[in-house]
A and B are shown apart, each in its own frame.
Chain A
Amino acid sequence: MSGYYRTNYLEDVALLDTRAQKAWFALFIVLLLAVPFAVGPLWLDLANQILLGSIGAVALMLLTGFAGQISLGHAGLLAAGAFTTGILFKELAAPFWVTLPASAAVGAALGLVFGLPSLRLRGLYLAVSTLALHFIVIHAGAEYETKRGYSTGILVDSPLTDARHWYFALLAASTLTILFSLNLLRSRTGRAWRAIHGREAVAEALGISVQRAKLSAFVISSALTAVAGCLFAYFRGFVSVEAFSLYLTIQYVAMIIVGGMGSILGAVLGTIFVVLFPHAIDALMAASGLGERLSSVVFAVNYAAFGLVMIFFLVLEPQGLVGIWRRVRDWFLLWPFKQR
């Protein structure tokens, strides 16, 4: 008998199994830490956007990819976190260590309220009910901006000003979110989410409270999303409803679909793809010489290409980028054999 076997509990719960995995991961960490010193300002800003986006994408993945609950209120939740931060900063001069948990608490409360329809509704109907969250939060934010005279947005003083500092802060936040999510998914709560996603009736038969599992998914995902909104407020230095359009929700949904449903790695890969995609299209247009001629419709081209990519993944690669990654990895692991 040959192969790799886990022989004790510690090995069983380890996130990285083999020495090779650990070595590759160490190299990956070194590369991640080297990024701010190796790239220019544009790429550093993109890296920061990816890290920030991955927090929201992982949060949505927990809710939709693992617990199977559809939400179109993601931009609303990001806005809720950002506005909580902006309002507390402006009204009470609250520091970061107050605005961050306050944003999480507001997100959790909204998640609880807007998770309630999930106890009765499913699929498209649930998605429509979560849209209400988006419009209510955006409306409330716009009202606040107008009433307080911040019609161009609320300015928030960031504790970090250097893009490199932001990179390390966001890298830490993103890593913590991923570690939290990976461990949560291996806990009773995470298993209950995946169970209700699989079969609600069987979950009930095995003593899992489907209601509690759904609500906890909404609460935890919403709290994490609001935390991402809080970080967004500090990162951009201002909060405005303009930044939280329905298109942002669609981008986050695209992140988890393109990345691959039911995978934390998929959420991260999807974020990388969605953040870099418009720049790739721009570069492609410039390289092909079409940039000049299509400059007036560059946004339309971007949207159209984005739509086509979504359709491509939905139809031809439902497992997303993570499915492609797994196939490539398995090909190398199993070579010269084709399958296990």
Chain B
Amino acid sequence: MSLLKVEKLEVTYHRVITAVQGVSLEVPRGALVALLGNNGAGKTTTLRAISGFIGLDDARVTEGSVVFKGMKIDNRPPHRIARHGIALVPERAKVFENLTVEENLQAAVPRPGGRFAREKVYEFFPALGALRRREAGYLSGGERQMLAIGSALCCAPELLLVDELSQGLAPLLVRELMRRLQAIRAETGVTMLLVEQNAQIALEAADYGYVMENGRVVLDGTPQKLLAHQDIREFYLGAAGGRRRSYRDVKQYRRSRRWYG
């Protein structure tokens, strides 16, 4: 049985704007699944629907369901979902800048029955060890990302949601962070769902991938299958000969065929 199952998800903002429509995906226990797509594709909305954050944005799941460990969790508040075992590493504002590194880790509330030793965070991210007493507001972008992942791990999650790991970071650092995530998964067995624009890096690490466009899933498969796919190569891996092309502009007929049969 899948740890997380999203079925025919529809999310509506302000009761008017539909941002995600008919999205279905599965995350098996222990897997690392990547959710790919360009800006505005609906990846983050999907992630926020899973973690309950759409409620804070005046949005709701209006159709479909989010099922975690066999339990329907859509439209629950984020802290409740975190207590069930889903922790989110947000996209932008991700640490408490007024708290020290150590206090950031202490602030996380572990899910009932779960345990994660704070010292493990310093083992996974040794750079944070020397910064324990430094206020998080003084950390660099990479250190903040490490701290955000560490704080989420302190919730002792069964499913870790990571929103745009690569945003604003140097490619080498992103690869390093991805390696750390894989090490964390190998050691703790935590399941991961990554939302990422950098398809190459995400698919190198993932077991399975979904590609979203215009609020729908348009492709899914193993990394090998996706990396070999002509559209992925063209629109995500820069095989279009330097010209910036988009699914949205070019592939309307192909998407229509896929969506409507």
Contacts and interface: CB of A to CB of B under 8 A. Distances in A.
Task: Using C-beta atoms within 8 Å of the partner chain, give the interface range for chain B.
Answer: 20 to 34
Contacts of A209: 77, 79
Interface residues of A, number: 19
A206 B93 contact: no
Contacts of A191: 99, 103, 106-107
B215 interface: no
Contact of B79 (A188, A194, A197, A207): A207
Nearest to B110: A207
Given A199-B93, A201-B90, A202-B90, A207 B83 contact: yes
A199 B96 contact: yes
A11 interface: no
Interface in B84-104: 87-90, 93-99, 103
A217 to B, nearest CB: 15
A65 B37 CA distance: 41
A208 B103 CA distance: 14
Contact of A208 (B56, B90, B107): B107
B78 interface: yes
Given A194-B96, A201-B56, A202-B96, A207 B103 contact: no
A207 B155 contact: yes
Contacts of B95: 198-199, 202
A187 to B, nearest CB: 10
Interface string A194-227: 1101110111111111100000000000000000
Interface in A147-197: 188, 191-192, 194-195, 197
Interface in B120-157: 148, 151-152, 154-155
Contacts of B79: 203-204, 207-210
A262 interface: yes
Among A198, A202, A210, find the residue whose CB has the most chain B CB atoms closer than 10 A: A202
B51 interface: yes
B67 interface: no
Given A201-B93, A206-B155, 14 more contacts: A188-B109, A194-B98, A197-B98, A198-B98, A199-B93, A201-B53, A202-B94, A204-B52, A205-B53, A205-B78, A206-B82, A206-B109, A207-B155, A209-B79
24 contacts: A194-B103, A194-B107, A195-B96, A195-B99, A198-B96, A198-B99, A199-B93, A199-B95, A201-B53, A202-B93, A202-B96, A202-B148, A203-B79, A204-B53, A204-B77, A205-B53, A205-B82, A206-B108, A206-B151, A207-B82, A207-B109, A207-B155, A209-B79, A210-B79
